[in-house]
């Protein structure tokens, strides 16, 4: 029995020696933000402190407390020895910014973009969801402002983008009239006018004119009440001027195409035709035929934001065939091009002019067949245009629409009316396609 007890005492002594080492292996996590001060309460007085990287944190011992200051982002370790023989270990992580604060800022900045989720995961902020290509670029730029942010937003394969309807008016207009309505041929037209109007005296039947004729009663009828009745409106002065000019014979509308495109998409219009251009055969390749457009060509690439502002790239080209410079049996072309970028609100009008210069006007009589061109033919046959009294002016009015907008409903109704008319004339719309 004595022999067994002798063996047990060394075993207990060994366990007593191992116990402090096990305590030293316990590690607590400590997460700070740059500039943050953290106070750590201690069970007894600290006799020794060791910091893995003194550039990341600095420490100061105050009896039974330790004050830790986060200096720079990174990770390090902190070990403390107390007077009673204990060891305290900390794994310290210093972040550049508070993830909760970062998440809140991102939600504020991305709040107008539906389908984007912002959540904190550990010391990171994760962005998830889907967005358009343009939206994804914006999200990526914002995410780069916050170093602890991971952008996992995917590009939408099919996006329901806003639609932009564009009414185009191609008009032959007298230059004298154009100067009266504010169009300078080397400048842009004055923009829309906004005003607040109202009636001081009114009723449901009529309102008192500003200068009543003799004998007109100026006392308002009490029906409907009286007082200031304001109303706010936005109007484009040029639209009414064009309509008046057409009625007076001072302008002639050559074409009014209607285009539609998704925000970020493209819409094209060509009034003219195509000419085959033959490339002769060579030893290395056979003869090829390509087709060159001529006439009036418009290309519009609109982008609409949430406030119905429209930014667009507008390319215009007016070209016609010039047989006087034919090479190898292929005719030449007289071409005028313009590239413009503009920002307008939905419903405002952009004006383009000067696409046909005076040199082309002088050469009209020399070029056969110009009078047969679509749209341009009517312009070139005009005596006023040939004499330089009129010019070609293009008006573009973009309007942001959706499936429920009144403009879209009107277009759908027109399409249905055309379909019903075709059915009534043919008995069956299907017979028209046979």
Each residue of 373-390: pLDDT tens digit?
555 566 656 666 656 667
> Could you tell me the sign of the dihedral formed by the alpha carbons of 23, 29, 35, 36, in that order?
negative
pLDDT range class, residue 246, cuts 50, 70, 90: confident
Do residue 81 and residue 131 come from a single domain?
no
Do residue 260 and residue 327 come from a single domain?
yes
Do residue 175 and residue 308 come from a single domain?
yes
- Decide: helix, strand or coil at residue 287: coil
Do residue 264 and residue 120 come from a single domain?
no
Do residue 261 and residue 352 come from a single domain?
yes
- Spatial distance between the Cα atoms of 72 and 94, rounded to a whole number of angstroms: 7
Torsion of CA 115, 119, 121, 123, to 10 degrees: 130
Do residue 52 and residue 139 come from a single domain?
no
Do residue 125 and residue 39 come from a single domain?
no
- Spatial distance between the Cα atoms of 262 and 267, rounded to a whole number of angstroms: 9
Would residue 190 count as lying in a domain? no
> Could you tell me the sign of the dihedral formed by the alpha carbons of 5, 8, 12, 17, in that order?
positive
Would residue 337 count as lying in a domain? yes
Would residue 397 count as lying in a domain? yes
- 316's CB contacts (< 8 A; 6+ apart) are 296, 297, 298, 299, 337, 338, 340, 352, 355, 394
Q: What is the pLDDT of residue 18?
A: 38
Do residue 293 and residue 359 come from a single domain?
yes
Q: What is the pLDDT of residues 280-310, one digit of tens each?
A: 777 777 888 888 888 778 899 998 887 888 8
Q: What is the pLDDT of residue 195?
A: 39
The DSSP bridge pattern shows strands 149-151 and 124-131 to be: parallel
- 45-57 in b/e form (b: 16+ CB < 10 A) is ebeeeebeeeebb
Res 232 pLDDT > 50: no
Contact 120, 105 (CB under 8 A): no
pLDDT range class, residue 223, cuts 50, 70, 90: very low
Do residue 263 and residue 119 come from a single domain?
no
Distance between first and last Cα of the chain: 115
Do residue 312 and residue 391 come from a single domain?
yes
Instruction: Count structural domains, the chain.
Output: 3
Contact 277, 289 (CB under 8 A): yes
pLDDT range class, residue 259, cuts 50, 70, 90: confident
- Residue 109 phi/psi, 5° resolution? -75, -30
pLDDT range class, residue 13, cuts 50, 70, 90: very low
Q: To the nearest whole number, what is the mean pLDDT of the chain?
A: 72
Do residue 43 and residue 104 come from a single domain?
no
The whole domain housing 351 covers 163-183+244-367+381-403
């Amino acid at each position: 029995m004595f022999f067994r007890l002798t063996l047990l005492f060394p075993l207990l002594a060994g366990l007593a020696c191992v116990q402090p080492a096990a305590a030293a292996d316990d590690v607590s996590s400590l997460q700070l933000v740059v500039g943050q001060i953290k106070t750590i309460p201690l069970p007894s007085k600290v006799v020794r402190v060791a910091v893995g990287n003194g550039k990341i944190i600095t420490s100061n011992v105050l009896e039974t407390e330790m004050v830790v200051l986060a200096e720079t982002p990174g990770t390090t370790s902190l070990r403390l020895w107390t007077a009673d023989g204990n060891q305290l270990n900390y794994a310290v992580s210093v972040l550049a910014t508070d993830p909760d604060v970062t998440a809140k800022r991102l939600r504020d900045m991305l709040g107008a973009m539906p389908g984007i989720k912002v959540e904190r995961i550990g010391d990171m902020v994760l962005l998830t969801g889907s967005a358009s290509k343009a939206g994804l670029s914006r999200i990526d730029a914002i995410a780069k402002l916050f170093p602890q942010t991971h952008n996992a937003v995917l590009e939408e394969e099919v996006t329901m983008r806003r639609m932009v309807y564009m009414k185009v008016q191609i008009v032959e207009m007298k230059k004298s009239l154009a100067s009266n309505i504010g169009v300078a041929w080397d400048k842009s037209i004055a923009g829309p006018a906004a005003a607040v109007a109202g009636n001081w005296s009114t009723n449901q039947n009529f309102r008192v004119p500003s200068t009543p004729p003799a004998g007109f009663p100026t006392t308002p009828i009490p029906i409907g009440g009286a007082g200031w009745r304001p109303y706010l409106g936005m109007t484009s002065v040029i639209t009414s001027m064009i309509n008046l000019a057409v009625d007076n014979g001072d302008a002639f509308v050559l074409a009014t195409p209607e285009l539609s495109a998704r925000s970020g998409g493209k819409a094209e219009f060509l009034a003219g035709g195509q000419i085959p251009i033959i490339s002769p055969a060579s030893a290395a390749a056979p003869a090829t035929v390509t087709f060159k457009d001529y006439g009036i060509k418009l290309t519009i690439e609109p982008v609409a934001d949430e406030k119905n502002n429209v930014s667009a790239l507008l390319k215009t080209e007016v070209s016609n065939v010039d047989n006087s410079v034919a090479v190898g049996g292929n005719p030449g072309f007289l071409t005028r091009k313009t590239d413009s970028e503009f920002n307008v609100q939905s419903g405002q009008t952009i004006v383009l002019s000067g696409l046909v210069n005076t040199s082309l006007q002088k050469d009209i009589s020399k070029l056969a067949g110009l009078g047969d061109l679509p749209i341009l033919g009517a312009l070139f046959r005009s005596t006023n245009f040939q004499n330089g009294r009129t010019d070609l002016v293009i008006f573009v009015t973009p309007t942001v629409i959706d499936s429920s907008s009144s403009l879209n409903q009107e277009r759908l109704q027109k399409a249905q009316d055309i379909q019903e008319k075709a059915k009534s004339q043919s008995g069956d719309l299907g017979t028209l396609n046979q």
